[in-house]
Amino acid sequence: MRILVSNDDGCHAAGLNALAEALKAFASVTIVAPDRNRSGTSHSLTLESPLRVHWDGPEIICVDGTPTDCVHLAITGLLEHEPDMVVSGINSGANLGDDVLYSGTVAAAIEGRFLGYPAIAVSLVSETPHHYATAARVTCDLVQRLLSHPLPANTILNVNVPDMPWAELKGVQATRLGYRHRSEPVSKSNDPRGRPIYWVGPPGAEQDAGIGTDFHAVRHGYVSVTPLQIDLTQYTALDPLSHWLQGIPLP
C-alpha cells in the first residue's frame, strides 16, 4: 500500500507531518509537497518555468511549485513507484463550500483523481488548529474504508474535521457543499515608499449553511465528508442555452 501525501501549506507544515506519520502505521508514505505555503493556488500548473525538487529526507520531496505541480510531477515521472492513493492535507483551516474552488489542498486531491487514483483532501476547521491528531486518525479510518470498499472512480472526498479531541466528535456525515457570502473587501495599505498595496481579504461568512451542508456538519461537531465531482457543466441549462443561442447571428 503506497500513499502519496501532498498539501498546500508546504512540506514542513504540522498538518502534513501529522498525516504522514499516522498513515505510516499501515502504508508506505511518500511526501511530495510545495517548498512553501501555496494556499489558494487552486488547480494551477507551472508551465513557463522548470520545477526544481529537493529531498528533505528519503521520503520527503519539496518542489518549488504548486500542489497540482507536486502531484502531477510525482505521478507522471518523479516517483519510482506509482501510489495506490493520493491524500492531501491536513490543511490548516477549513475548506468548506466555495473554498474548494480556491483550495490547493483540494486541487492536489483532484489532480490525483485525474491521474487515476482514489483521492482524499483533509482540512482541520479552525483558524488556529490544534487537533491534527484527530484529523489524522479520521483520515486513516477513511483511507482503510476506501481500500476495503472502493468508491466510484470519479469521486473525490473533501473532508473537514472539527478541531477537537477525537473522543468529542459526534460522528461522520456525508454532506453537500454550502455557500459563502461574497468575500470580505480587499485590505488596502501603503508600502514604506507610499505606494498602495492590497491584500486579498478573508472569505465571506456562511450563507447557505443549513442542514445537509458541510458548514452545518462541522459546526455541530461532525466530520464532514463531501463527495466532489469535476464536471462543472450545468446540465439543466443546456436546453435553455441552446434556445438562447438561436438569437446569436451566425456568419
Chain residues that interact with Mn ion, rule: CB under 5 A: 8-9, 39, 91
Minimum CB distance to Mn ion, residue 122 (Å): 11
CB closer to Mn ion out of 37 and 155: 37
Supply the DSSP symbol for 245.
G
Residues in CB range of 193: below 8 A, 6 or more apart: none
The nearest distance, CB 193 to Mn ion, in angstroms, is 31
Residue among 30 and 91 whose Cβ is closer to Mn ion: 91
Which grid coordinates are listed for 164?
A: 477537537
> Could you tell me the smallest distance in angstroms from the CB atom of residue 87 to Mn ion?
15
At a CB cut-off of 8 Å and minimum separation 6, what does 135 contact? 15, 18, 19, 89, 90, 122, 123, 124, 159, 161
The residue among 78, 75, 98, 77 whose CA lies nearest residue 88 is 75
Contact 11, 5 (CB under 8 A): no
Residue nearest to Mn ion (CB): 39
Judged by beta carbon, residue 9 or residue 111, the one nearer Mn ion is 9
Helix runs in the chain, H state only:
14-23, 67-73, 99-102, 104-114, 132-148, 214-219, 238-244
Closer to Mn ion by Cβ: residue 14 or 172 = 14
> How far apart are CB 194 and Mn ion at their closest, in Å?
32
* Residue 8 or 206 having the CB closest to Mn ion: 8
Grid look-up 504522514 returns: 20
* Closest distance of CB 10 from Mn ion, Å: 9
Residue 247 CA from chain centroid, whole number: 41
